[in-house]
Amino acid sequence: MKNNYYKELELKYKEISLLYETMGILHWDSSTVMPKKSIDGRTDQLTNLYVLSHKMLKDKNIYDCIRKSEKINKLSNWERRNLKLIKKEYILNKSLDKRLIEKISHATSKCEMQWRVSKENNDFKSIVPFLEEVIELRKIEAKIKSKVLKCSLYDALLNDHEDDLNSNKIDTIFNQLISFLPDFLKEVLNYQKKKKLIHIKDKINTNLQEELGRMLMKKIGFDFSYGRLDVSMHPFCGGAYQDSRITTRYNEKNFVESLMGVLHETGHALYNLGLPNKWKYQPVGDALGTVVHESQSLFMEMQVCRSYEFLNFASPFIRKIFKKNGIKWRADNLYKIYTSVKPSFIRVDADEVTYPLHVIIRYKIEKDLIEGNIKVKEIPIIWNKYMKDFLGIVPKNHKEGCLQDIHWFDGTFGYFPTYTLGALYAAQLFAKIKRIMPNINKQISKGNFKNLLDWLRLNVHLKGSLCNSNELIKNITGEELNIEYFKKHLINRYLN
């Protein structure tokens, strides 16, 4: 009889989870095919679902089931972890007022849509009042959550994306990167001068780029009967259970950008589709925070698909689909292109060496915004100063500067650090794979990704949220997160 309380809790959470999934599809729709003037209706729809899920989660019956389930001795490890995750979500959700949820939903939806216009028009001033409202509301939310979690305002928002992560830990890791990357970047730029790289300036039709992307997605292991590839202003991966929606953007003058964007999002999608089916619609069956999620996308893009072995495998398909030939389309030159390092303005197109510096810039700014140390109107000046200090370049306009990312404008704060933490995890995971599968690079060069994907499924995907990311990396590799694997990876790839 007692076990019924826990089973009832699972059923109640399933109803909430299905609302979350519905919201995910609506968000995907608004970024891909929704008519431009339908934003008001979509805002109302999403707000209603947010409020409804909030109301359902703070229901007294949920608390009763949690309290009674905690007294059950025979729960499995998965059930106990699930109970803990639901309880945490319940406590945080209960601390938030319905009216605040409504305001945040409305404000972020309006701000995101205004961002699309402001970015297109290169007009930062027009977004300022919208972003100010979003930040003010998220600070109110953060203040409430910080009291529950006993942490800083910014750490409360970090917690939305990664359990047990705090800015002190991030500062320690990022300071190590700052002490390593600038000098390393100079070494790489000097080393690259010795290499003869032939730039590809051919215009490639977007239909052909999509054909190539789809073909390589399938080769890696993506099943299109469970997902889609579409176009959006900002690439992302979303969707629902057994429904993984990938988006990208194409540039006819530079096919390199979209291809790696597609393969990056494919890493996210494979993770989503590999989660434990037994625990679908439960938090323990969800992806393990954004650090591990980003580790899966960066594992696929950076560790695998930018390798010489992968490009040696992919180059014949690139030549065939694009109907191109010659030295510049061979694997050697493609590898030089895909591992070319150059300070640039756009984060999502940045190379592997400079990418962490892009993230650190955003982390420093968003942390100061939430902690009240800077104002929204100051963002462009501070952004450009950091770009100059870290990368030695200054954006010519806001489109290639502080308006390039969607995150702040859709209300997302605390996400950016997880990109670079994910890259560190990816390097450590791939180092582990190479130790237990010494011929993995040979398999990749032959287009055999089965063993690689099977290993990720078994060791990462199927673990869901059974433990936190610190425990996961230690369980898999035998040690906690170690930045040295990332540094060694960069040195081996860019100075050899």
Tell me which of 94, 113, 147 is where a domain ends: 94
CATH number at residue 260: 1.10.1370.30
Measured CA to CA, the distance from residue 366 to residue 384 in angstroms comes to 14
Residue 90 belongs to domain spanning: 2-94
Q: Is residue 480 part of a domain?
A: yes
Q: Are residues 63 and 185 in the same domain?
A: no
Q: Are residues 41 and 188 in the same domain?
A: no
Q: Is residue 134 part of a domain?
A: no
**pLDDT at position 234:** 81
Q: Over the chain, what is the mean pLDDT?
A: 95
Q: Which two tokens stand for residue 373?
A: 């140390």
Decide the pairing of beta strands 227-231 and 243-248: parallel
Provide CB contacts within 8 A for 376, sequence distance 6+. 128, 131, 132, 135, 369
**pLDDT at position 2:** 53
Q: Are residues 373 and 468 in the same domain?
A: yes
Q: What is the pLDDT of residues 366-414, one digit of tens each?
A: 999 999 999 999 999 999 999 999 999 999 999 999 999 999 999 999 9
Q: Mean pLDDT in runs of 10 for the chain (496 residues)?
A: 84 97 95 91 92 93 96 95 96 92 92 94 98 98 96 96 93 96 95 90 96 98 97 91 95 90 96 98 96 97 97 98 96 96 92 96 98 97 97 96 96 96 98 97 97 98 96 97 98 94
Q: What is the pLDDT of residues 430-449, one digit of tens each?
A: 999 999 999 999 999 999 99
Tell me which of 94, 122, 143 is where a domain ends: 94
Question: Exposed (0-12), middle (13-18) or buried (19+): which is 71, by Cβ within 10 Å?
Answer: exposed
Among candidates 258, 404, 261, which has minimal Cα distance to 345?
404
How many domains in the chain? Answer: 2
Q: Is residue 113 part of a domain?
A: no
Q: Is residue 204 part of a domain?
A: yes
Tokens 């959550």 found at: 145
Q: What is the pLDDT of residues 3-27, one digit of tens each?
A: 789 999 999 999 999 999 999 999 9
Task: Give 79-86's long-range contacts (Cβ < 8 A, gap of 24+).
Answer: 79/6, 79/284, 81/284, 81/465, 81/466, 81/467, 82/10, 82/279, 82/282, 82/283, 82/284, 82/285, 83/6, 83/9, 85/283, 85/284, 85/465, 86/9, 86/13, 86/62, 86/282, 86/283
Q: Are residues 377 and 233 in the same domain?
A: yes
Tell me which of 77, 94, 111 is where a domain ends: 94
Angle at 65 between CA 61 and CA 67, to 5 degrees: 115
Q: How many CB atoms lie within 10 A of CB 171?
A: 14
Q: Which two tokens stand for residue 208?
A: 């052909």
Measured CA to CA, the distance from residue 317 to residue 60 in angstroms comes to 58
**pLDDT at position 39:** 87
Measured CA to CA, the distance from residue 246 to residue 261 in angstroms comes to 10
Q: Is residue 271 part of a domain?
A: yes
